[in-house]
Amino acid sequence: MSQHATSDSFNHEPPHESGHQAPAAAPGAAVPSPADIKRWRQYLADERAEAAVYRDLAQNRRGEERRILLALAEAEGRHEAHWLQLLGDQAGRSRPASLRSQFLGFLARHFGSVFVLALAQRAESRSPYAADPTATPAMVADEQIHEEVVRGLATRGRNRLAGTFRAAVFGANDGLVSNLSLVMGMAASGVGSSVVLLSGVAGLLAGALSMGAGEFISVRSQRELLAATRPTQITLAAAPSLDIEHNELVLVYLARGMSREAAEHRVAERMGLLDCDCDPSLSLQPELPEARDEHVAVGTAWNAAASSFCFFASGAIIPILPFLFGMTGVAALVLSAALVGLALLFTGGVVGLLSGTSPASRGLRQLAIGMGAAGVTYLLGLAFGAVVA
């Protein structure tokens, strides 16, 4: 998209300013139409805005990520120069960037999070240059490569978010859908609003406690399983006392996946018997505790339980808000469904943003699934109420 930024190895200022005008088009060149001028000005504004996004993101990064972002902005400057050259004296005053580009800029300046990179990835994938004959093939290729570069940067942030994001989205979504279904089912059965409210509160507490307990057990069990599979230092302590004639230490290394040659070489090292000109690659480093997988074993079971409880409760309270504020009957049900629908659209949209896909389609998918579950429960409640009556 546009505007170039300086990188650590480029200390020049951007060559464009809002009042800059490129040289006029060469004599004899085709006169652009008003539609061309308008389109090129918009391209120019968007290029400048999106290059500024990369520069703003670079301010919050260090090392290689910073250099990559600044190089992206630098490349966008070449695109900007292309539109300036085509516009010539018609460049005029700078146009405002598209709302999408302005929104990206706002997020980059104030947050600089993975959400911005995810949005930038989607923006790069929707570049109009491939269908515009006035854009050069190199510019089209640049946009395609930029999408992959931004995808790689966004992937780093997505990996760091993976555990927390999963707990937040799925915990809140479970609370929304399960408690809305409970409220709809109870209301359809014909019970009073006070009973519906009580059922909703009970569902919130029961579900949140269940989620918290389940997450506690899951994380604790996972950490214990990882600890049980991590090699100990027993071989160091036992090696001096082993019988050289019947040395079972080799079995330890074979069980850990070493080849027999490497296992026997390691045994010789442990027993102090190594006195040969052996392959140096067989001399392994002393056994050290394996580094924990930061995406599997991060945090404690208590933290996981607390976050799961809170995320579920934050979703589960939304369906009962109308009843908490004294509403009853159909009006309370409609408002409850509307509030949950908005929340489902939001959570689905966030999933879409982070995955680099359409927020609208993901939001509508979440909405359809949640409302489908609530609708089925409502019908079951009607049937149950009719049978009891």
Clarify whether residues 180 and 122 are in a common domain. no
- Please report the pLDDT score of residue 227 as a whole number: 65
Percent pLDDT > 90 in the chain is: 15
**Do 143 and 77 lie in a common domain?**
yes
pLDDT band, residue 163 (cuts 50/70/90): low
Please report the pLDDT score of residue 274 as a whole number.
55
Residues 6+ apart with CB under 8 A from 357: 122
- Please check whether residues 130 and 192 belong to one and the same domain: no
Same domain, 208 and 309: yes
pLDDT at 161: 60
Look at residue 18 and tell me if it is in a domain.
no
For residue 313, the number of C-alpha atoms closer than 13 Å in the C-beta half-sphere is: 14
SS (H, E, C) the chain: CCCCCCCCCCCCCCCCCCCCCCCCCCCCCCCCCHHHHHHHHHHHHHHHHHHHHHHHHHHCCCHHHHHHHHHHHHHHHHHHHHHHHHHHHHHCCCCCCCHHHHHHHHHHHHCCCHHHHHHHHHHHHCCCHHHCCCCCHHHHHHHHHHHHHHHHHHHHHHHHHHHHHHHHHHHHHHHHHHHHHHHHHHHHCCCCHHHHHHHHHHHHHHHHHHHHHHHHHHHHHHHHHHHHHCCCCHHHHHHHHCCCCCCCHHHHHHHCCCCHHHHHHHHHHHHCCCCCCCCHHHCCCCCCCCCCCCCCCCCCHHHHHHHHHHHHHHHHCHHHHHHHCCCCHHHHHHHHHHHHHHHHHHHHHHHHHHHCCCHHHHHHHHHHHHHHHHHHHHHHHHHHHHHHC
On the question of pLDDT at 342 being above 90, the answer is yes
Q: How confident is the model at residue 19 (pLDDT cuts 50, 70, 90)?
A: very low
Among the three residues 160, 183, 211, which one is the final residue of a domain in this structure?
Answer: 160
Q: Is residue 91 part of a domain?
A: yes
Together in a domain, 120 and 178: no
Place of tokens 């079951």: 380
> Higher-confidence residue: 140 or 117?
140
Separation CA 195–CA 74 (nearest Å): 63
Q: What is the pLDDT of residue 12?
A: 38
Give the mean pLDDT of 220-249: 58
Q: Quick one: 125 and 67 in the same domain?
A: yes
Question: Within this chain, do residues 310 and 381 fall inside the same structural domain, yes or no?
Answer: yes
> Is there a single domain that holds both residue 204 and residue 351?
yes
Q: How confident is the model at residue 87 (pLDDT cuts 50, 70, 90)?
A: confident
pLDDT for residue 179: 92
Determine the average pLDDT of the residues in 99-110: 70
Residue 285 confidence (pLDDT):
47
> 160, 180, 200: which is the final residue of a domain?
160
- Smallest CA-to-CA distance from 351 within 175, 180, 186, 168 is with 168
Mean pLDDT over each residue of the chain, to the nearest integer: 75
pLDDT, mean of residues 316-338 = 91
pTM equals: 0.57
Q: Is residue 154 part of a domain?
A: yes
* Residue at 9 is within a domain: no
Least confident of 28-37, 69-78, 195-204, 332-341: 28-37
Task: Check whether residue 78 and residue 140 sit in a common domain.
Answer: yes
**Are residues 168 and 153 both part of a single domain?**
no
Token pair 């580009």 is found at 101
Give the pLDDT confidence score for residue 265 in this predicted structure.
76
- Higher per-residue pLDDT: 101 or 19: 101
Give the pLDDT confidence of 177-228 residue by residue, as tens digits: 999 999 999 988 888 889 999 999 999 999 888 888 887 887 777 776 666 5
Q: What is the mean pLDDT of residues 48-54?
A: 85
Let me know whether 138 and 264 are in one domain. Answer: no
pLDDT in tens, 249-280: 677 677 767 788 887 777 777 666 655 545 44
Does some domain include residue 29?
no
In contact, 313 and 339? CB cutoff 8 Å: no
Four-CA torsion 68, 69, 71, 77, nearest 10 degrees = 160
Report how far residue 178's alpha carbon sits from residue 199's, in angstroms, rounded to the nearest whole number: 12
The total of other beta-carbon atoms located within 10 Å of residue 321's CB is 15
Return the pLDDT at 110.
Answer: 64
Of 116, 143, 160, which one is at a domain's C-terminal end? 160
> In this structure, is residue 298 part of a structural domain?
no
pLDDT of residue 286: 45
Answer whether residue 3 is part of any domain.
Answer: no
Q: What is the pLDDT of residue 270?
A: 66
pLDDT of residue 151: 81
Is 103 within the bounds of a domain?
Answer: yes
Q: Is the pLDDT of residue 349 over 60?
A: yes
As a whole number of Å, the end-to-end CA separation of the chain is 65
pLDDT score at 341: 93
More confident residue, 67 or 237: 67
359 pLDDT exceeds 70? yes
Task: Please give the residue that has the higher pLDDT: either 122 or 346.
Answer: 346
Same domain for 337 and 191: yes
* 8 A C-beta contact, residue 386 and residue 189: no
pLDDT above 50: residue 315: yes
Q: Please give the residue range of the domain that contains residue 254.
A: 231-282
- Number of domains, the chain: 3
Residue 10 binned pLDDT confidence (cut-offs 50, 70, 90): very low
- Tracing tokens 């400048």 back to the chain, one arrives at 48
Q: What CATH code is carried by the domain that includes residue 73?
A: 1.20.1260
